[in-house]
Amino acid sequence: MPHVITQSCCNDASCTAVCPVDCIHPTMDEPRYATAESLYIDPDACIDCGACVEHCPVDAIVADDRLSPDQQRFQQINASYFTAYPTVARSTPVSPVPSAENLSGIRIGVVGTGPAGMYTALELLNHRGVDIELYDRSVTPYGLLRTGVAPDHPDTKAMANLFDPALRKRNVSLHLGVAVGSDVSTDELLAHHSAVVFATGAATSRRTNIPGSELAGVHSATRFVGWYNGGVDEASASFDLSGQRVVIIGNGNVAIDVARILLSDPAHLARTDITDHALEALRSSSIREVVLLGRRGPAQASYTTPEFLALLNRSDFNVVIDPDEAAPDDLSRHQIVNDPVAAFKVQLAQEVAGRRPSGAARRLVFRYLTSPVRYSGTGAVAAVHVSRNTLASGHDGVVQAISGPEAEVIDTSLVLEAIGYRGTEVPGLPFDPHRGVIPNRNGRVLSDAEGDPVPGAYVVGWSKRGPLGVIGSNKRCARETVSCLLDDIGAGVVTAAPERAELVALLARRRPDAVGYDGWSRIDSAERSAGDRTGRPRLKLTDVDELRRAAAAL
């Protein structure tokens, strides 16, 4: 009866260290970890001890005799990893866990309280004597864990329980509602800390900028996600849900999240922490079909297998794929021979293409080998003009889509572009506009891509490596950055910080209304109480003034 890793795995690898027979892979130290969709348990090696279960922060590990019908396929997914990579041995750690050190007198600022900032704080807390100041421009902590991760993924949202104890530590101070680069400058922050770790994420969207992008009804998926997920900047946004069809550009996990929210039975969403304004709008939505446009084939689809799999047994909508588009071309057939994940994606797409649809009134249509060429309409979008693509192998061996001429027109009144995220510049800090990241070497900020380290400045998470990887990927990333920071402390490059009183006075002058841990606790309680009254985990406040009032309430 081996155990099995299922859908909500976020790759934080907490389970690998506790497995007595080393049968969970890839570990953080293995090269395949960087691109793994999730971790997997070797069914032939697992001794069923259950030790990993309680260490999983998202309840992703299940004994195989307790798998629900929807989870059965994960047995095959776990096993096929070890069929493809049968002798996976632990290699030398890329970023070994540093031994505990005495960091008395060292004060580290961490800018951003998303997963990367929080993992950084947790790594630092392994050492004695360090003081940590956590800053976020938002009045609520946890970055995309609160405003990105979909409301119907409560297991993943529960990662906040892992981070919350760090905020309560005596040597950790929280400063919410403080924007670094405007409320306090980067130089001021560097002057008042031994070092500052920037964990500012990648908050803006990449856009197609094709003709017609300026039409009403063409939005970034980022804006839509913020709207349903409690982003204060998107609370007043509105989306026209009166048409029958939405077209989403892109087929990554964010595109899938957005499609699922658009098509879900509102009664199901009403048990989540989706915002009230989004729930009301979705209750009166006329949307019957969401079309996802992917530029390559199923073998190269951007979504992860677990997220795709979770769509297949829904009673509120059907997943539809054209059999011709599910069939792999020659290049894909060659690719899947050595790539079990790509092979499984093709297998699943073909299974879906061959299925009879259920009686559900709504449809989620996956299109492959298609790219938008332009949007048309008078004032507002009315159609997406689409090209048919072929695949070719690029110089780097990556399979690329080659756009053909315009081949098809899809009528729609709402387009959501979900083609990726992008970091933004923190004033006063170097920025690589091409990659949308803060230039760095293993987490040490550089003056430019090939330049020298900027004294005292470090970076972690999506602002370090771009918008890649899931929540747990930031743990390894934080370990690498903190390891550089510790080396620099050991080498005397990073030294004790000046008196804290000066920092406190500066912050009090610039943001007297900053929200600390007590304020956040009051917001949290207010949201949970409001949720309790309506049978939901929480009712998110989405207005900054309202949030500040809740933080100040006694």
Ligand X SMILES: Cc1cc2nc3c(=O)[nH]c(=O)nc-3n(C[C@H](O)[C@H](O)[C@H](O)COP(=O)(O)OP(=O)(O)OC[C@H]3O[C@@H](n4cnc5c(N)ncnc54)[C@H](O)[C@@H]3O)c2cc1C
Interface residue list for ligand X (CB under 6 A): 10, 111-117, 135-138, 143-144, 148-149, 153, 156, 179-181, 199-201, 203, 225, 254, 257, 421, 426, 461-462, 469-471, 474
Interacting span for ligand SF4 (CB under 6 A) from 49-57, 269-277, 331-339, 461-469: 49-57
Residue 222: CB minimum distance to ligand X, A: 7
Which pairs count as long-range contacts for 326-331, CB under 8 Å and 24+ apart, including other chains?
A: 326/298, 326/350, 326/352, 326/353, 326/368, 328/297, 328/298, 328/299, 329/297, 329/390, 329/391, 331/391, 331/392, 331/393, 331/399
- Listed residue (414, 317, 326) closest to 363, CA to CA: 317
Which of ligand SF4, ligand X, none has residue 372 at its interface (CB below 5 to 8 Å by kind)? none
Beta bridge partners of 374: 385
Least separation in angstroms between residue 78's CB and ligand SF4 is 10
Alpha helices per DSSP H over 134-213: 144-147, 154-157, 160-167, 186-192
Helix (H) / strand (E) containing 332: helix 330-337
Binding-site partner at residue 156 among ligand SF4, ligand X, none, CB < 5 to 8 Å by type: ligand X
477 touches 485 (CB < 8 A): no
Residue 404 parent element (H or E): strand 399-411
Min dist. Cβ of residue 18 to ligand SF4 (A): 6
Long-range contacts, 142-145 (Cβ 8 Å, 24+): 142/113, 142/114, 142/115, 142/118, 143/112, 143/113, 143/114, 143/115, 143/116, 143/117, 143/201, 144/114, 144/115, 144/201, 145/114, 145/115, 145/471
Integer Cα distance of 130 and 97 in angstroms = 17
**With CB cut-offs between 5 and 8 Å by kind, which of ligand X, ligand SF4, none does residue 39 bind?**
ligand SF4
**55 versus 223: smaller Cβ distance to ligand SF4:** 55
Q: Which is nearer to ligand X, 303 or 366 (CB)?
A: 303
Q: How many of the chain's residues bind ligand SF4 (CB under 6 A)?
A: 29
Residues 19, 282, 309, 437: which binds ligand SF4 (CB under 6 A)?
Answer: 19
Which lies closer to ligand SF4 via its Cβ, residue 18 or residue 360? 18
> Choosing among ligand X, ligand SF4, none, which partner's interface includes residue 139 (Cβ < 5 to 8 Å by kind)?
none
User: What is the rounded distance in angstroms from the CA atom of residue 60 to the CA atom of residue 53?
Assistant: 8
272 touches which of ligand SF4, ligand X, none (CB within 5 to 8 A by kind)? Answer: none
Question: From ligand SF4, ligand X, none, which one binds at residue 290 (CB under 5 to 8 Å depending on kind)?
Answer: none
417 pairs with which residues across the strands?
220, 249
Confirm or reject binding of residue 293 to ligand SF4 (CB under 6 A). Answer: no
Nearest distance from C-beta of residue 475 to ligand SF4, angstroms? 9
User: Angle CA(430)–CA(434)–CA(438) in degrees, nearest 5?
Assistant: 30
Only segment of 8-16, 390-398, 498-506, 514-522 that touches ligand SF4 (CB under 6 A): 8-16
Give 285-318 as a DSSP string.
Answer: ----EEEEE-SS-GGG-SS-HHHHHTTTT-SSEE
What b/e readout covers 132-156, taking b as 16+ CB neighbours within 10 angstroms?
bbbbbbbbbbbbbbbbbbbbbbbbb
Query: Between 16 and 285, whose beta carbon lies closer to ligand SF4?
Result: 16
Among 4, 28, 36, 39, binds ligand SF4 (CB under 6 A): 39
Interacting stretch for ligand SF4, rule CB under 6 A, among 21-29, 336-344, 410-418, 433-441? Answer: 21-29
- Residue 224's CB is within 10 A of a number of other CB atoms, namely 26
Of these, 4, 28, 36, 41, which contacts ligand SF4 (CB under 6 A)?
41
Query: Who contacts 543 (Cβ-Cβ below 8 Å, separation ≥6)?
Result: 232, 235
Residue nearer to ligand SF4 on the CB measure, 18 or 506: 18
Q: Which is nearer to ligand X, 148 or 212 (CB)?
A: 148
Binding residue for ligand SF4, selected from 4, 7, 24, 228, defined by CB under 6 A: 24
Say which DSSP state 134 is in: E
Among 28, 36, 52, 415, binds ligand SF4 (CB under 6 A): 52
Smaller CB separation from ligand SF4, 55 or 277: 55
Helix (H, G, I), strand (E, B) or coil at 47: coil
Q: Candidates 28, 56, 364, 551: give the one binding ligand SF4 (CB under 6 A).
A: 56
Instruction: Quote the CA–CA distance of 393 and 329 in Å, as a whole number.
Output: 12
DSSP 8-state class, residue 71: G
Question: At closest approach, how far in Å is the CB of 11 from ligand X?
Answer: 7
Interface positions, 466-525, toward ligand SF4 (CB under 6 A) = 472
Of 14-22, 200-208, 412-420, 431-439, which part binds ligand SF4 (CB under 6 A)? 14-22
In this structure, the chain runs to a length of 554
Closest Cα partner for 116 from 134, 139, 97? 134
Judged by CB under 6 A, the stretch of 15-23, 144-152, 251-259, 511-519 that binds ligand SF4 is: 15-23
Binding residues for ligand SF4, rule: CB under 6 A, are: 3, 5, 9-15, 18-19, 21, 23-24, 39, 41, 46-52, 55-56, 58, 60-61, 472
